[in-house]
Each structure stands twice: as C-alpha cells, then as structure tokens.
Structure 1
Amino acid sequence: MKVSNIHKDCCANEETNAKAAMQHSNAAHHHTADAHSDDDGHDHGAEEPAGWLSHWPLLTALGVVVVMMVLEYGFHINFNTLVQLIIFVPAYLLAGYNVLNLAFRKALRLDFFNEFFLMSVATIGAFAIGSYSEGVAVMVFYSIGEWFQDTAVSNAKRSIKALLDIRPDAVDVIREGKIHRVAPAGVAIDEVIQIKPGEKVALDGELLSDKATFNTAALTGESRPDTKKKGEQVLAGMINLNQLSSVQVKAAFKDSKLSKILEMVQDATARKSQTQLFISRFAKIYTPIVFLLAVLVVALPYFFIADYVFKDWLYRGLVFLVISCPCALVVSIPLGYFGGIGLASKNGILFKGSNFLDVMTKVNAVVMDKTGTLTRGVFEVQKVVSNGFDEKELVMLASAIESKSTHPIAQAVVSYAGDVPSGVTIENVEEVAGHGLKGTINGKAVLAGNTKLLKKFSIAYDHKIDAEADTIVVLAVDGKYAGYLTIADEIKADAKQAIADMHRLNIETVMLSGDKQSVVDKVARLLGIDKAFGNLLPEDKVAKVTALKKQGKHLAFVGDGVNDAPVVALADAGIAMGGLGSDATIETADIVIQNDQPSKIVTAIKIGKLTRSIVWQNIALAMGVKLIVLILGAGGVATLWEAVIADVGVALLAILNAVRIQQMKL
C-alpha cells in the first residue's frame, strides 16, 4: 500500500486514486477520511470498515489454496495440468482481479514500476512455468496483507479523529425564556446555553452558574475533573459531570478551540516527515531498479552457465520480484508517525504534522516565556504604593485603563479594584507594545505599565522600585509619577520537575520574559533554569532566539501570549500553551499543549524519539529481511512461498510494531 493512502500530495494523487478504485470495487479496503476520485471519475468518500463477508472472493481463494495444499502435501494427491488450471485460475482471478485491473490501467499510462504491476508479472510468470499453487498463493497473501494494512491505517486515522471529534450535534439554548434544541452552529455569541449532567459542552463560553465540574480529558489528556467557578472559561469538548449548568457563549461554533484543533488534525496528515519523504522518493527509484535486477537474474546466467535452464532462472527472477515489493516500508513508516500523533493526542499534545515529531528529536535547547508558560498567569495584587496621590483614586485609574486589556496582569488589577464606577470616562486607550497602556481617564492622561513606559515618556520616578522582586504596574497621571501596584504570580506545580527532566536529556533551558530582570532571576533561580533574560520587548525575544539559532542550536520555543507568536514561528519547533494561550500563538505554533503543563514539553520530546525509534526499527527489519531473501532467491534457495511469506510477514510485523506506539505509556 502506498504512502498516498495516508497522506495526499500533488505527486501522489494518481496513486491514491488508483488505490481508491481497488478499494471501492472490492469493498475490502478502506478510504482515508478525505473524499477522493477514482480513475473513472467517480468520487468516493470515507467508508466504514467492511465485514468479513464482503471479502468473500479473497476468502474463497484462500480456502482453495488451503484445500489444495492439504490434498497435495497431506494426502499426496496430484492433479493433472488441466484440473489444476480449472481450479487455480478462478481462485487467482477472485484474489487478484483488482490488482490485475489496476496494473493494466497503470500500464496503459506507461506506469510499469508499481507494486500492482510487480505482483501481476510475478504471479502470471508463476502460471507460465506451471507453478499454479504458488502463483495463486502469492496473490492471495499479498491481497490479505493489503487488507490488514488498509485496516491498520483506517483504524489509526479513526482513533486520532475519535480522540478529538467529540462535538455534540445539538445544544439547548435559552431564547425568550424557553429552551430550544438547535445545532451548535446556529447559536450566536452571548446567547446562553444549558448543559445537563453527563452532556458535552458544544461551544466555548463563560460559566454563569456558581460552579460546575467538568471532565476535560478529551482536550487535555488529564483524567482528573476540573471544577470551574462563575466567570471562568468553559471549552467545547468538556463534559459536565454533576449538575445542570449555564454557559454564556463567547465564540462561534467554527471558532471554538475544539473546532480549530480538529482542523489542525486534518492539516497534520498533509505534513510529512523527512523520513516519509525519503521513503516516497526511495520507492520510486527502488522499484525500477528491482525490475532491472530481476531481468538480469534471469538473463545474465545464460552467458556464464553451461547448463542454463530458462525455467529455473525465470523462477528465481519471480522470487526476486515478489520479495522486493516495498509495502512494508511505504505503509509502516507513515503509520508509525500516525501512531506518534495519536499517542501525543492521548497525552494532551497536538502535533500539527509528523515532520514536527522528527524536529523534536533534534531539540537541544528549549526557550520559554515566563508568564502563562512556567507560571500560572493568575496574578493577585499584593500591595498599592501611592506617591502623593489618593490611593483609592490611583486604584480606580489603574483599573479603568487596564479594563481595556486582556493581559493577565491587567485582569488582576481589575479583579482587585472591582467594577469601574459608572460615570468614569475612558478614552483613547492605546497599547504601547512591550511597555503598557496609555489613555485618558476622566480627562486625565494616564500611563500604566512597566518602568520602560515611564522612561519612554521621560517621566521621573523613584528608582527604588526597580529592586521590587514582584511584578509591578507603575502609574503616571498627567505626566507625573503617581505610584505603583505589586503583583505576584504563582509558579506551575510541575515546572521545576519539567526543567529537571530537560536537563536529564542534556537540553539547555532558557527563559525570555518582558518582566523585569529581578522577577525573572527569582523564577529562574527557583526552577534551576540555565539562562534567563528579562525586560525584553517582542523584537528583543526575536533577537535572542535568532542568536541562539546562529550558535547552531536546534530549539523549541514555548509561549502563550500574542507577543510570543513571532518567536514561536521563528523556532525550529514552536510550542503553544493551548489552554490559556492566545489564538494567534496557537495558530502559529507547530505543537499545542492542551493543559498548559510545562512537563508536557518533555513528553513531546519523548514521543518524538519513541516514534523515530520505531520507524527506524521498521526500516531495518524490512530492508534486512528483504536483502537476505533477495540473495537467497537469486541463489535458488528461496521459493515463491518463502518470498511471499517473508514479504507479507515483514509488512505485518512492521505494521504491528507501528500500531503499538499508541498503546505505550510514557
């Protein structure tokens, strides 16, 4: 089976279409999730796996082979040529009709170097020299191998989709005091929906009930229930566990985080790893070489061997063709990467393409943002210090201007101050990137941000505040320093262990933050981070990452804010914290960690290395066995029976080895 059954690209469409025709006409194979077109122009979408009865032609042919083997080797009953032809030709056509059909159609387009033509030549050749049972057996076992391969691919793709495709078909929405059952796509932003106990949340929103407990395993990989309080975010895909809950919708159905994740999963199948691309190119070169070698195995001995018997050497050439089929490689390798993506999904990590599994195996430096990545990003105001200004008014002004920002620090200030009093006018609020906010509150020019903001506007302040260990929000009113608020963040529970695990893997850790250096140094010291840089603007982070790359580092950058999007895009592997992260960062990232746990960075690296290890095991197994049997076949030791058993056996072993990735525990 070709790689194109799993991953479609412009170079493989013809093979995909041909394969689809074979699958459709026999009802014995399974399509990929995307609709595609057969050679005859008919479109066929995804199908459910067919039952055993739908494979009756292949099973009938298998039964004939088994019965004839029992009669020949068990009871020593030999049939004459005519009887054998009457028995074996129908069995051969039942097992190989689709293969022969595809080989013929591809040959009309002068495409001779493919597995269908290879198997057709080998089996027809076996009939030509009187090896009828072997010819049928080769076709039967090849088709059985294809059946198992397609089933494995179908199951792998379906298991990944099942991990995430959990969107309910209908939702209860409250309209004019009545509950209406509607499709999620028909619910508008700010409408209120109800979720019954045991029901899945259909749309992203804000919890209106006092509290509710949700199962978030489908999104985060975490089995522990998560209790949300009034006003906290609830995401599509969560399952309400204990009581009827009300949620105010904050995002359209197509814009929910779950919908975006599903789109990412679909896109992931289009991005191939370097290993897959190499195997695709290798198969295109390998197959014609094998055909040439098979011809040479048959023809060359004529010039060097006195008692040359064409029939014997033709048989050896046929063995050579059968064992050379590249099925084990071109199926098991992409299936292995599929398994890696599936295992990551089970652990709350989304890889947007199998190529990023390979990238993570090379990472030797992990660069991280601080807020929301290593710390919870849940801030609380610790103290308020005014400078000749009324403290209550200072807090009100800070809350008023910060109410126009979605930054976690701004939200902490607003939460501390409470709702902005009615009658307060807030005008011309602008964000000064990497510095803070400026605006007009009740006619007063207000600045709120870090000390760089005051320096930018040449406002003098008490430099003693630079020694504050906590994050601070400095305020200036009408061009004069007015005071500051200190805000503390909490380090994530698994952050220290994550850094220690990275060090065990000989990975350098670097922290980049827009926060002041004293805060950054404190966090770095607590966690054991190798290097930490503070007071950075977005462009400074880009410069630091660029400098690390120039040193030859293969680096991953982990962040969650909008200002992290440029460096996420620049890194070899951009990782976004998907629970609290901004949409811009999540869309830019190559890998998304759904539960915001830093320890998942190490998990992603381990999954990448595990996947690569199994892929190369399959390559070594397939190439090793094939090389041995090719030599034995050319030497006249291996028969067609051994060739087909080796070919199908290696393919199935490689597939089983690839499939087991999804069952592994890290």
Structure 2
Amino acid sequence: MTTNKPSCACHSDDKNNKNSHGQGENNHDHNHDHNHDHNHDHDINYDTNIYQLFLPAIICAVFLITALIFDSLHFSFFKSWFRLGWYIVAYLPVGYPVCKEMLEEFKHKDFFNELSLMFLASVGAFYIGEYPEAVAVMLFYSIGENFQSLAVAKAKRNINSLLDQRPDVATVIENNNTKVVKATEVHVGEIIQLKPGEKVALDGELLSSSSTFNTSALTGESAPQVKEKGDVILAGMINLTSSSQIKVTTPYFDSKLSKILDLVQNATGQKAKTELFIRKFAKIYTPVVFFIALMVFVLPYFFTKNYDYETWLYRSLIFLVISCPCALVISIPLGYFGGIGLASRNGILVKGSNFLDILAEIKQVVFDKTGTLTQGNFSVERMHIEPGFDQTQLLHWINLAESHSNHPIAAAVLEYVGVKPDISQITSMEDIPGKGIKVEIEGKDILVGNFKLMDAYNISYGSEIKEVVNTVVLVAVNKVFAGYLEIADQLKPGASKDIKNIHTLGIDTTILSGDKNSIVQKVAKEVGIDRAYGDLLPEDKVSKMKEIKAASKGKVAFVGDGFNDAPVIALSDVGIAMGGLGSDATIEVADVIIQDDKTSKIPIAVKIGRATKHVVWQNVILAFGIKIIVMILGVFGDIHLLEAVFADVGVALLAILNAVRLQKTNLSN
C-alpha cells in the first residue's frame, strides 16, 4: 500500500529537485529523508493500478467490518485471543507497511514523524483494548495517504503532459530516402521531414518555402503561426499544413523545449519562504507534540483524584493522531506546484515557488521600452545628410559600424541598406556602452550612436535635431557631423490595456530606457505608464532601480529582454523576461519568462502568484484551526479516537483538494 504514496511530514520529493539557480538557502539538509522516500506517485497508472493501490485498505476494511459484525452479534467464539488475532490480521495489511517505513526512518535517526505517530497511536489503542479503533486509525490514515498520493501524482502528470511534447522519434531524410530513428540519435545538420499534424522533435531551420505551426506547447497560445524558409522551428511545435523539411540545428537534449521542461520540473527546488518554514516547523512540531501527548498522559496523575491511566492514555493518543502535520506538509508544496503548472499553461515559466510569493507582493513594475512595450521592429523612416557627404558612402559606413551589434536598430539599418557588409573592411572597432560605436574604416574614424557619443567627442550638431521625436542615429566622420537616421518603432498591440490591467491590481508602473527621453515620455503617455525616465546609461538604470526599490512599499519587478538589462534584473526582486522563446540568455538570467512576448501575461502572472498565496494560507489556517480545536476537545475527553482520525484525514483531504483547485483557475484578463 504505502509503496505508492508520498509521506507527509518529511518526504517531499527533494531528491529530484535540482536547484540549479544558486539559491543556497534552499539546499537544506534533507538527504537522509529522501534516499528512501515514498515518492513513487509517478508509478501510478490511473487506469489499472488504483485498485492495487487501495487493495490493502480494502482487505483491512473487509476484516474490520466482519469483526464489528461479530462483536455486535456477540458470537461466543469471537472472544479473547481469537478476537485479538482477528483484529491483528485486519491491521497488518495497512499497519505493516507503515511499521516497515517507520523503522527505515529510525535508521536515519528520524524518530519523530507521522509514521511513528500513527503507529504509536494504534498500538496504544490495542494496549487499552480498543481493537476496532486501533485498526480504524491505521485504515483511515492509509486511505487518506492514498488520496494524497493520487492528488500529487495528478498534479505532476498535468505538468508533464503539458510540457513534455517532445516526440520520441523523427523521420530523417538520407540519400533521398526516409527512415524513422530515435530523436535522441538525430545529429545536428541532418534533415528531418514533418508530415501535417506531426510534432517537431528537435530545434531546426525551415528548409521548405513556408508552413503553418501550432506553438501552444511553448507559448500557451493556440493561434497558429506561419513560418517562412529560414525561420527557426522549435521542438514541440506542430506542423499544421503541408509536408515540411527542417535542418536540425540543436541536439535533442539542448532544444528549447528540453530546457523549458527541465526549468519547470526543477522549479520546485527553489522553495518559497512559507514552504521552507513549514518544513522546518514540522521537524520541530512533531517531537513537541509527542512530548505534549506524554504530558497529557502523565501530568493528570499529580493533579487529579482517582487517576485512570487508560482514560488519560486514550486522550493522549487522540492528541497524537490529530496533531499529525500531513495537511500542511503535503498541501502547501502541492499548492505551489499547482501555481507553477497554472503559469506554464499560460505560457509563463516561473523558476521557483519563491518567485510566486514575490509576484504576489509586487507593488511596482519597471519596464524596459524597446521590445517590451514596443515591438522592437525598427524601420528607418528617413535619412538626413549634411552637405559635402555622399549618402551611399555614409550608409555603407553606418552599416559596417552596426554590423557587430544585435540591437534591433542595427537590424533596421541592415534592412534599409539591403546589403550585408564585409566586416573585413573594418580596421578597428570600439563599443562605447550607452553611447554607440567608434570604428576605423578606410583610414577614417567613424562615430555612430546617440547625442551622448557626439558630446563625448565634442562634435557639434544642429540643436533642432533634439526636437525629433523618433529615435535618431547620428554619424560623424573624422569628428565632423555627417547626418542622422530617423528610426521609428511601434507599440505592441494592446499594451495600453495591459498597463491598465496592471494598475487595476494596485501596481505602479515605470519605464527605464536608454532611448531618447522625448520618445520614452511619448510611449509612457500613450500606454498610461505612471513615470518614465529616458536617456539612461546602464549605470543610470541601476541607480534609478535602487531609488525605486527604496521608495517602494512592496516588491519590485523588472520587465525586459533578460540579457542586456542583467544588472537591473539582478537588483529587482523578480526579473521578468519577454520573449524567452528566442533567447537562451533570457532563460538563464530571468526569474520569470513570458514565452510569447505579450505584456498581457504580466497581470496574469501577478494573479497566479496571489491566487497561489491565498490557497497556501487558506490551507495553513484551515489545518491549524481545526487541529487546535480537536486537540483541545481530545484533552478534555469530548472526542473519540475514531473522530480524531476522521478530523485529521478530512483536514488533509480538504487542504489537498483546495490546492488542486488552483490548477483549474481561469485567470484570463
């Protein structure tokens, strides 16, 4: 029976939670608790093995019911040792596995846990002659544990079925012939063929002219996307239309989906403060209640007349049973696990349950501008050339200078020129952070960047240029101002509505950007951002973030591309990266990843954090409240052992059902 259940007090699946994100405080010492844990819930086959899971409890129940019938009919044979033996036989199917695992715990010097607690309560009931209650204690405890096991297994199965979309095989084209091979054996550079309706097994580049793909496994969005020749295709996408060919660019286990799957599976390794507290609390709480139960049995001897040891032993056993911390130690991690799963279904990757707690407490969201609130798809609107300079030559130099940059503005210049530059023409290059680029080309010093770059080299330019609202890229040749490009970006669709939804949650908003202040203020006004700061160097962003954190009454989130803004993300309480689907660096740096690049997911992420926190605290209050009431009733003899068992199992199941409910929450705006 117990081989398929996760135990409550100290068996919470830590050995499978690799904390790969440097959260040292979460690597607390639970190793000895988990080398022999009960975490076999993934072995449960819901179609065939539920009967097997409950079989010991069924056998126990049959013997117990039969014994109760014999007792009620007062059969003469059902007395003395025969009666005791019958109840022991009823007890063994559920009691023996618990006893066995309790002894395993003892080997690891863990003497105070719910296993020893239940075993002691049932043996004590046998000792005072309460045979039916002795069996019932273990029976209902086992049934409760089995239901808990099913709940945990269902939560894990939901997440695994959501994310583990990787096919096991792929069709490889070799010498104009196709063969089906294991996906793990496909090498980089090989070409795989996709039929309509087939899932992509590995990341690659589309060789066919075009095809439509369902990307919901990666982004949470069901709207199909049209991919053209040369576009990146990721594992987990589903080919919807014509047969397509893809050139593999990444090994199976390094695919984007594999990294996402690992991230979500390992997310439970970073524990929330509530979860860490409950674990530490349970290790102190359980021995304390053992001691209190002992005092309930012993102390009345000194303060009451006509002390009846059986009565006070019985009351101490009731106290032991109801004090079991199962409801807390199972339902709280399950609540956070449900929150992580709910976020995943909405295309939001949360790297740990600790970040769910932070999301719940956010009072300020700080945005980067480009690629976060705007589309980041820049285009050159127009070009101004100073007299004496050739436009074609100047564009060629700008294109060369921007060739080493992956910034969207560099891409806009390349698209505008239409020719990929020959970088061998560059003699030297210096990247000047927050200002621009200095290059030497054909013996000329070329400066390409913003106003700060021009000012740093004392290059004069017309003051009217600063009145241009759009982004401008200025260029100087041999310290003489040569002209500028005017570049425009577009707001993301629905950005203003998304900011309004964030404000509805009681959260303030700010923009920190290195772009021109006039553009930043314009964007802030259009989308409804509370405050905006432009013309910021990287170190200025850090200073502003420190000011914002010092003034904020709650947690501060930063939303950006997750790589260029790494210092600001490090300062924030939680870093939220947009467009994690396209950047490995984003997955490494950020704490929360919005996979489809939509600002609408930010208020959803906050709602998920708050909903998770509510469920967790509901469970804490429910469990403690009922347990304290029943403990008091038990000490004063107003409750029986069987009722205490029902109360304990009932509280655990209610808390678990509450945690599971979270996974079905609808949080769309």
TM-score under structure 1 length normalisation: 0.91
SS in structure 2 at match of 1:19: coil
Aligned to 1:311: 310
SS in structure 2 at match of 1:117: helix
Aligned to 1:367: 366
Shift of 1:250: 4.3
SS in structure 1 at match of 2:404: coil
- The answer to whether structure 1 residue 516 and structure 2 residue 523 are counterparts is no
Q: Following the alignment from structure 1 to structure 2, what is the Cα–Cα distance between the partners of residues 142 and 593?
A: 42
Q: Is the 8 A contact 2:403 2:423 kept in 1?
A: no
Amino acid at match of 1:583: D
Shift of 1:460: 2.4
Closer, same or farther: CA 368–354 of 1 in aligned 2, 3 Å: same
Shift of 1:442: 4.7
Aligned to 2:14: 7
Aligned to 1:499: 499
Closer, same or farther: CA 177–567 of 1 in aligned 2, 3 Å: farther
Q: Is the 8 A contact 1:556 1:572 kept in 2?
A: yes
Deviation string 1:624-658 (CA, Å, 9 cap, x unpaired) is 11111111111112111101111111111111110
**More off after superposition, 301-310 vs 200-209:** 200-209
Q: Following the alignment from structure 2 to structure 1, what is the Cα–Cα distance between the partners of residues 487 and 429?
A: 22
Unaligned runs of 5+ in 1: 24-28, 32-45
Closer, same or farther: CA 399–245 of 1 in aligned 2, 3 Å: farther
Aligned to 1:549: 549
* Within-5 A mapping of 1:285-364: 285-364=284-363
Q: Is the 8 A contact 2:207 2:229 kept in 1?
A: yes
**More off after superposition, 403-412 vs 172-181:** 172-181
* Candidates 34, 37, 41, aligned match of 1:30: 41
Q: Following the alignment from structure 1 to structure 2, what is the Cα–Cα distance between the partners of residues 618 and 210?
A: 54
Q: Following the alignment from structure 2 to structure 1, what is the Cα–Cα distance between the partners of residues 448 and 189?
A: 30
Deviation string 1:389-412 (CA, Å, 9 cap, x unpaired) is 222333333233323322111112
Shift of 1:345: 0.4
Q: Is the 8 A contact 1:4 1:13 kept in 2?
A: no
Shift of 1:505: 1.8
Q: Following the alignment from structure 1 to structure 2, what is the Cα–Cα distance between the partners of residues 94 and 473?
A: 78
SS in structure 2 at match of 1:213: strand
Q: Following the alignment from structure 1 to structure 2, what is the Cα–Cα distance between the partners of residues 205 and 174?
A: 14
Q: Following the alignment from structure 1 to structure 2, what is the Cα–Cα distance between the partners of residues 423 and 504?
A: 50
* Within-5 A mapping of 1:613-628: 613-628=614-629
- The answer to whether structure 1 residue 474 and structure 2 residue 492 are counterparts is no
Amino acid at match of 1:656: L
Aligned to 1:136: 135
**More off after superposition, 507-516 vs 545-554:** 545-554
Amino acid at match of 1:660: R
Shift of 1:588: 1.4
Q: Is the 8 A contact 2:380 2:416 kept in 1?
A: yes
SS in structure 2 at match of 1:596: coil
Indicate the percent of aligned positions where both proteins have the same amino acid: 52
Q: Is the 8 A contact 2:332 2:619 kept in 1?
A: yes
Shift of 1:421: 6.5
Amino acid at match of 1:14: H
* Within-5 A mapping of 1:143-542: 143-174=142-173, 179=178, 181-185=180-184, 187=186, 192-388=191-387, 389-420=389-420, 425-542=425-542
Aligned to 1:653: 654
Q: Following the alignment from structure 1 to structure 2, what is the Cα–Cα distance between the partners of residues 442 and 182?
A: 53
Deviation string 1:103-134 (CA, Å, 9 cap, x unpaired) is 23434555321111111110000001111111
Deviation string 1:481-539 (CA, Å, 9 cap, x unpaired) is 22222221111112111211121122110101111111111100101111111111222
SS in structure 1 at match of 2:499: helix
Aligned to 1:16: 34
**More off after superposition, 587-596 vs 457-466:** 457-466
Aligned to 1:121: 120
Q: Is the 8 A contact 1:577 1:586 kept in 2?
A: no
Q: Following the alignment from structure 1 to structure 2, what is the Cα–Cα distance between the partners of residues 103 and 561?
A: 47
Aligned to 2:589: 588
Q: Is the 8 A contact 2:197 2:239 kept in 1?
A: yes
Deviation string 1:158-200 (CA, Å, 9 cap, x unpaired) is 3222222212223344556555545555555555443322122
Deviation string 1:47-73 (CA, Å, 9 cap, x unpaired) is 766442354333211222233345556
Query: How many residues get paired?
Result: 644
SS in structure 1 at match of 2:165: coil
CA RMSD of aligned residues (A): 2.4
Shift of 1:465: 1.7
Q: Is the 8 A contact 1:424 1:442 kept in 2?
A: no
Q: Following the alignment from structure 2 to structure 1, what is the Cα–Cα distance between the partners of residues 192 and 105?
A: 55
Shift of 1:19: 3.0
Closer, same or farther: CA 346–449 of 1 in aligned 2, 3 Å: same
Closer, same or farther: CA 477–48 of 1 in aligned 2, 3 Å: farther
Amino acid at match of 1:653: L
Closer, same or farther: CA 549–649 of 1 in aligned 2, 3 Å: same
Amino acid at match of 2:12: N
Closer, same or farther: CA 423–84 of 1 in aligned 2, 3 Å: closer
Q: Following the alignment from structure 2 to structure 1, what is the Cα–Cα distance between the partners of residues 521 and 262?
A: 39
Shift of 1:664: 0.9
SS in structure 2 at match of 1:212: strand
Closer, same or farther: CA 423–374 of 1 in aligned 2, 3 Å: closer
Q: Following the alignment from structure 1 to structure 2, what is the Cα–Cα distance between the partners of residues 385 and 171?
A: 53
Q: Following the alignment from structure 1 to structure 2, what is the Cα–Cα distance between the partners of residues 310 and 181?
A: 74
Q: Following the alignment from structure 1 to structure 2, what is the Cα–Cα distance between the partners of residues 444 and 517?
A: 31
Q: Following the alignment from structure 2 to structure 1, what is the Cα–Cα distance between the partners of residues 421 and 624?
A: 74
Q: Is the 8 A contact 2:256 2:581 kept in 1?
A: no
Aligned to 1:37: none
Deviation string 1:296-331 (CA, Å, 9 cap, x unpaired) is 211222222222211111111111111111100100
